[in-house]
Each structure stands twice: as structure tokens, then as C-alpha cells.
């Protein structure tokens, strides 16, 4: 793969990799409902607050979400809601996988 292409695909992979974690996927899905502060997320995710903050930081670093300060809390929101489209395709993949598993068991 030529260096130019490699760089391009690495940039793209960085964004997708940010989505490639159960907690972060959940966060993105939650943010579809509206902006939320770190403490809201912490309550829903149930991990250490520092862990939650790091996950949100990864999403922000990737450009998927943005944050703004409000008083002493930080509020996150979806910067690129198009990532929600990932879910449709992912569900299609998972459904096909389930069908194949059934067929394998039958055969």
C-alpha cells in the first residue's frame, strides 16, 4: 500500500477505532437523545468516572463528539450524528451471522 493511501486509511481507521468499543458505542447511542454531562454518562455506564472521561475524550479526539463547559461540568454532544448510521449496518451483519450459525448447527 503506497504511503499516501496508507496515511488516508490510517486516518479513517482512527475514527472507526474510536467507535470500536462497547462503552463508547453506548455513549454515542445515548448522545442521540441529547447532550449529556460526564456525570450523567457515569451514572449510565457504571464505570469509574475517570474511565468514562477517558472514553469521552477518545470520542472527542476522533471528532465524533464535542464538549463545552457549563459551570463546573462538561457537556458532551454528537458532533457528527452520521455515526449513528453505523448501527443499521452493524445490525445487518450481526443478523446474517446469526442466520449462518443456525445453518451450521443444522448441517
Partner DNA sequence: TGTCTATTTGGCAAAATAGACAAATAGCTT
Partner DNA sequence: AAGCTATTTGTCTATTTTGCCAAATAGACA
Q: Which residues bind DNA (CB under 7 A)?
A: 17, 20-21, 23, 37-39, 42, 47-51, 53-58, 67, 69, 71-75
Grid cell for residue 102: 443456525
Q: How far apart are CA 50 and CA 56, in angstroms?
A: 10
Judged by beta carbon, residue 12 or residue 54, the one nearer a copy of itself is 12
Applying CB under 8 A, does 105 fall inside the site for a copy of itself? no
Number of residues forming the site for a copy of itself (CB under 8 A): 43
Q: Residue 63: left if φ>0, alpha if ψ -120 to 50, beta else—which one? A: left
Q: Does 102 bind a copy of itself (CB under 8 A)?
A: no
Judged by beta carbon distances under 5 to 8 A according to partner kind, the member of a copy of itself, DNA, none in contact with residue 77 is none
Site map (CB under 8 A) of a copy of itself, residues 34-63, x = contact: ----------xxx---------------xx
Amino acid at each position: 500500500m503506497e504511503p499516501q493511501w496508507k496515511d488516508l486509511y490510517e486516518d479513517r481507521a482512527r475514527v472507526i477505532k474510536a467507535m470500536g468499543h462497547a462503552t463508547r458505542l453506548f455513549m454515542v447511542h445515548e448522545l442521540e437523545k441529547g447532550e449529556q454531562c460526564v456525570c450523567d454518562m457515569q451514572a449510565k455506564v457504571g464505570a469509574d468516572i475517570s474511565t468514562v472521561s477517558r472514553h469521552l475524550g477518545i470520542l472527542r479526539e476522533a471528532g465524533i463528539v464535542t464538549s463545552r463547559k457549563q459551570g463546573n461540568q462538561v457537556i458532551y454532544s454528537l458532533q457528527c450524528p452520521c455515526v449513528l448510521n453505523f448501527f443499521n449496518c452493524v445490525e445487518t451483519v450481526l443478523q446474517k451471522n446469526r442466520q449462518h450459525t443456525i445453518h451450521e448447527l443444522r448441517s
